[in-house]
Amino acid sequence: PLRRARGAQNELLEAMAAGKAVIASPEAVAGLRVVNGEHLMIADSPRRFANAALEVLRDASLRESLETQARHFVEAEHDWKTLLQRLVELVEAVERRESRPGRSNVRAVKG
């Protein structure tokens, strides 16, 4: 279990992208749009973490579903091609807005 969230999201996404069933703390998944019991298991105490681990180990159907849904989640929400396309669209939108006629690219600075 990762108790601190620093870098944890990347570790979780890497495991999920590899199609692994993941059990994580609420802090570790903060900022990710995951669904408990669908993409992974979220456990907020050592006892719940152990129970979730046993459940995943004992229930092959649950484990396989978590693995499949985890992989699909990463492909849909964290694919570099999709994320970079969104970034390109954002930069292009800002450029179009800034280059409109009669609009200065110089910003006022408070003195």
- DSSP 8-class letter at 41: E
Q: Is the pLDDT of residue 107 over 80?
A: no
Closest by CA position to 1, among listed 20, 26, 18: 26
- Residue bearing tokens 């939108």: 93
Task: Say if residues 22 and 15 touch (Cβ distance below 8 Å).
Answer: yes
> Is the pLDDT assigned to residue 73 strictly greater than 60?
yes
Mean pLDDT confidence for 45-70: 97
DSSP secondary structure letter of residue 100: S
What average pLDDT does range 39-45 have in this prediction? Answer: 95
pLDDT at 77 over 60: yes
The better pLDDT of the pair 88, 106 is held by 88
The tokens 């280059």 sit on which residue?
99
Mean pLDDT across the chain: 86
Banded model confidence at residue 58, pLDDT cuts 50, 70, 90: very high
Is 80 exceeded by the pLDDT of residue 1? no
Cα separation of 50 and 44, whole Å? 11
Q: The tokens of 63 are what?
A: 């484990």
How many C-beta neighbours within 10 Å does residue 100 have? 7
